[in-house]
Amino acid sequence: MELTVGAILDGKVKSLTKFGAFITLPNNAVGMVHISEVAHAYVNDIHDYLAEGQDVKVMVIGLDAGKINLSIKRTLPAPAKPQYSRPRPQFDRQQSGAPTRAGSGGFSGGPAQAPQGKSFDDMLKQFMTESDSKMSSIKQYSEHRTKTRKR
């Protein structure tokens, strides 16, 4: 029986080590399943997943210089990725009338909805005014810190 990469075979766990498991294949050849190829989840202790003498289905993933590399997890269906439902950001109006995310002063990451009665140009002017004001206060603070620093 000729082994080829991608072949799925039935085998029996011969022995377990801290880094993987040795599997006896139908043609009495022995291959190794690395601990990272045992399950789709992180495997800390291989004894939680396999026992000596257990029958397993393995896939040949490599043939290197007489060594047979096997995988158990590639014969298993991939686990479904969890669907996270994040709440949509709620917009509220501050004193300035600029739309911001509730609870933060940052960018929402999505397209902003124009407040009723304001054009894009009006919103841009307001943003530039607020930005200039913030930048000037930062500049004043940094100049003050530079002047008062002892040399």
Cα distances from 8 to residues 12, 14, 25, 117, in angstroms, run 13, 18, 11, 66
Distance CA 59, CA 76 (A): 10
Task: Answer yes or no: are the C-beta atoms of 134 and 98 closer than 8 Å.
Answer: no
| Strands of 20-119, DSSP E | 20-24, 30-34, 55-64, 67-71, 91-93, 99-101
- Do 54 and 46 contact (CB within 8 A), yes or no? no
* pLDDT, one tens digit for every residue, the chain (151 residues): 678 899 999 999 999 999 999 999 998 899 999 999 999 989 999 999 999 999 999 999 999 888 999 999 999 888 887 777 766 666 655 555 555 555 444 555 555 555 667 888 888 999 999 999 888 888 887 877 777 666 5
